[in-house]
C-alpha cells in the first residue's frame, strides 16, 4: 500500500502529465502528415522554439501567463511564414522532398537558436509552486495545472475538429484536398493556417513542459522521436489514435523508469513500437491505404 501511494501513484500521474503534453505535440504532427503527406522533421524545433519564445516574453514582461499566450502566436506566425515560403512550392512533388526540406529547416532553426541564446541549459520557473494533497500523497500544483491545461486543450481541439466549420474543412482537406479545391475552398490557405496551428500547439507543449524539464537547443530532437513513435502507434493520420498512443507512451515511459535504468526505457519504448507494428502494422486506429 505504501509502495502504491508513494511510488506507483505519482509515477502514474507523471505519465499522464507527460502523455497529455506529448499528445499536443503528436496531434499537430499527425494533422500535418494527413494534410501534406509530410512527416515534419522540424516539429521538434517548433516545440523547442516555444520554450525559447517563452523565455524571451518572460524576460520582457515577467509574466508566465503572458508568455503562454504570446509564444504560440510568435511560433505560429513563424510556422505560417515557413509553410508559405518553403512547403507551398512542394505540394505537387513527392512527399520525400517535404521530408528532406523539413530536415534542413530543423537544422537551421536549431542552430539559429543556439547562436542567439547559446547552447547551455536554461530553466523556466513554474508560475506557482506548492503542492496539493491528493489520494494520500502530495503532488506539485504545477504538474496538476499542466495535466488540466493539456486536457482542456485536447478537448478544445476535438471540439474544433468535430463542431466547427473550419475544423470540418481541415478534415475534408485531409480526406481529399483536390475535391475540396474543386468545391471552391482556398486549399493553400487551409494548409498554411493548419501548419501555423500545429506550430502553435507544438510551442505550447514546449512552454508548458519547460518548467518540468530543461530548455536547450537540442530538446526537440529527443521529443520528436517520441512524437513520431506516437503518431505511428496511433495509426498514421488518425487524430484519436495519436492521443491514445500519447498516453500509452507517456505512461509506459514513466512506469518503465521505475524498474529499469532510463537508458533501457528508451529501448523498451522502441521495442513496444516494433512489436505493435509487427502485430498491427497500421497502428491502433490506422486505416488501410492511408499514405502507403
Partner 1 sequence: MSRVFGWRSAVAFAALAALPWLPGVPKYYLLLAFDALLFGAIAMSLDLLIGYTGLVSFGHAAFYGLGAYATAILLERGILSLWACLGFAIVVVGLYAAVVSYFATARRGIYFALLTLIFAEVVFTFFRYTQTFGGSDGIQGLPDALVFPGVAIDTPARKYYLVWVYLLLAYAVCRVLVTSHFGRVLVAIRENEDRARFLGYNVQKYKMLACMISALLTGLGGAIYPIRAAFATPDLMLWTESGEFIISVMIGGLGTLVGPIIGGVFFTLLRDKVSSYVDWYFIVIGVVLVVIVLFLPKGLLGLRRALGFGRWRATA
Choice between 96 and 168, CB closer to partner 1? 96
CB of 222 to partner 1, least distance (A): 11
Contact between 147 and partner 1 by CB under 8 A: the answer reads no
Kindly tell me which residue out of 84, 99, 185, 212 binds partner 1, with binding defined by CB under 8 A.
99
Q: From residue 162 to residue 201, what is the string marking binding to partner 1 with x (rule CB under 8 A)? A: ----------------------------------------
Q: How far apart are CA 162 and CA 168, in angstroms?
A: 6
**239: which 3 cell numbers?**
487524430
Instruction: Single out the residue of 128, 186, 274, 287 in contact with partner 1 (rule: CB under 8 A).
Output: 274
Written in H, E and C, the secondary structure of the chain is CHHHHHHHHHHHHHHHHHHHHHHHHHHHHHHHHHHHCCCCCCHHHHHHHHHHHHHHHHHHHCCHHHHHHHHHHHHHHHHHHHHHHHHHHHCCCCHHHHHHHHHHHHHHHHHHHHHHHCCCCECCCCCCCCEEEECCEEEEHHHHHHHHHHHHHHHHHHHHHHHCHHHHHHHHHHHHHHHHHHCCCCHHHHHHHHHHHHHHHHHHHHHHHCCCCCECCCHHHHHHHHHHHHHHHHCCCCHHHHHHHHHHHHHHHHHHHHHCCHHHHHHHHHHHHHHHHHHCCCCCCCCCCCCC
Residue 66 touching partner 1 (CB under 8 A)? no
* Binds partner 1 by CB under 8 A, chosen from 8, 60, 93, 168: 93
Member of 95, 126, 127, 240 binding partner 1 (CB under 8 A): 95
CB atoms closer than 10 angstroms to residue 245: 30
Q: How far is the CB of 94 from partner 1 (least distance, A)?
A: 9
111 binds partner 1 (CB under 8 A): yes
Q: From the list 232, 243, 248, 276, which residue makes contact with partner 1 (rule: CB under 8 A)?
A: 232
| Minimum distance from residue 143 beta carbon to partner 1 (Å) | 27
Q: Taking CB under 8 A as the rule, does residue 279 contact partner 1?
A: no
Of the residues 25, 75, 196, 236, which one makes contact with partner 1 according to CB under 8 A: 236
Contact call for residue 110 and partner 1 (CB under 8 A): yes
Residue of the chain from 130, 259, 278, 279 that contacts partner 1 (CB under 8 A) = 278
Largest CA distance in the chain: 63
One of 137, 185, 225, 252 touching partner 1 (CB under 8 A): 225
Shortest CB 261 distance to partner 1, Å: 8
Dihedral pair phi/psi, residue 259, rounded to 5°? -110, -15
Number of residues that bind partner 1 (CB under 8 A): 44
Number of CB atoms found within 10 A of residue 2's CB: 7
Residue 104 interacts with partner 1 (CB under 8 A)?
Answer: yes
Binding site for partner 1 (CB under 8 A): 33, 37, 39, 41, 86, 89-90, 93, 95-97, 99-101, 103-108, 110-112, 114-115, 221, 225, 228-229, 232, 236, 263-264, 266-267, 270-271, 273-274, 277-278, 281, 291-292
Amino acid at each position: 500500500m505504501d509502495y502504491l501511494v508513494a511510488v506507483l501513484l505519482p509515477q502514474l500521474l507523471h505519465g499522464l502529465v507527460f502523455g497529455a503534453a506529448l499528445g499536443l505535440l503528436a496531434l499537430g504532427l499527425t494533422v500535418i502528415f494527413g494534410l501534406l503527406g509530410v512527416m515534419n522533421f522540424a516539429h521538434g524545433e517548433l516545440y523547442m522554439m516555444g520554450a525559447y519564445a517563452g523565455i524571451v516574453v518572460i524576460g520582457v514582461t515577467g509574466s508566465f501567463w503572458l508568455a503562454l499566450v504570446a509564444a504560440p502566436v510568435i511560433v505560429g506566425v513563424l510556422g505560417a511564414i515557413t509553410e508559405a515560403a518553403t512547403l507551398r512550392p512542394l505540394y505537387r512533388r513527392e512527399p520525400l522532398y517535404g521530408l528532406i526540406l523539413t530536415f534542413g529547416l530543423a537544422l537551421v532553426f536549431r542552430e539559429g537558436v543556439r547562436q542567439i541564446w547559446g547552447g547551455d541549459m536554461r530553466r523556466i520557473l513554474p508560475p506557482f509552486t506548492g503542492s496539493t494533497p491528493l489520494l494520500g500523497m502530495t503532488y506539485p500544483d504545477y504538474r496538476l495545472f499542466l495535466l488540466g491545461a493539456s486536457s482542456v486543450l485536447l478537448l478544445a481541439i476535438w471540439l474544433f475538429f468535430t463542431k466547427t466549420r473550419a475544423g470540418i474543412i481541415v478534415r475534408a482537406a485531409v480526406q481529399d484536398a483536390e475535391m475540396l479545391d474543386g468545391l471552391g475552398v482556398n486549399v493553400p490557405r487551409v494548409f498554411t493556417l493548419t501548419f501555423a496551428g500545429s506550430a502553435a500547439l507544438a510551442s505550447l507543449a514546449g512552454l508548458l513542459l519547460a518548467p518540468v524539464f530543461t530548455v536547450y537547443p537540442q530538446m526537440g530532437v529527443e521529443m520528436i522521436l517520441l512524437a513520431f513513435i506516437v503518431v505511428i502507434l496511433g495509426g498514421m493520420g488518425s487524430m484519436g489514435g495519436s492521443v491514445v498512443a500519447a498516453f500509452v507512451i507517456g505512461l509506459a515511459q514513466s512506469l518503465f523508469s521505475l524498474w529499469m535504468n532510463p537508458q533501457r526505457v528508451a529501448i523498451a519504448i522502441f521495442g513496444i513500437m516494433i512489436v505493435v507494428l509487427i502485430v498491427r502494422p497500421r497502428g491502433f486506429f490506422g486505416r488501410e491505404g492511408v499514405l502507403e
